[in-house]
Amino acid sequence: MQFVVVDIGLKPRWIGLDDCYRFWMDEVQHHLADPDAKVSNDGVYCYWAFEWHSDEVGCPIVVLEQRH
């Protein structure tokens, strides 16, 4: 599995395959939002996750849309 973080106005940030587990444990699982959640204005960010498949990439890709 590979992660890519997308944030409006910024370039996509690909997380290296060797860092995906640490990134999931330390970052994503603490900030993963329910798809129906509303964004708060308290300065806390969250991620919405979407699965993406590509014939060019040999593993599933999780697109993490970062919202502030």
Q: What is the pLDDT along the chain (68 residues), one digit of tens a residue?
A: 889 999 989 999 999 999 999 999 999 999 998 877 777 667 678 999 999 887 877 788 999 999 87
- Largest Cα–Cα separation, the chain: 39
- Which of 45, 61, 51 is CA-nearest to residue 4? 61
Judge whether 14 and 2 are in contact, CB under 8 Å.
Answer: yes
- Provide the domain limits for residue 9: 2-67
User: What is the number of H-type helices and E-type strands within the chain?
Assistant: 2, 4
Report the distance separating Cα 46 and Cα 37, nearest Å: 10
Q: What is the pTM of this model?
A: 0.81
Q: Which helix (H) or strand (E) holds 22?
A: helix 20-23
Query: What domain count does the chain have?
Result: 1
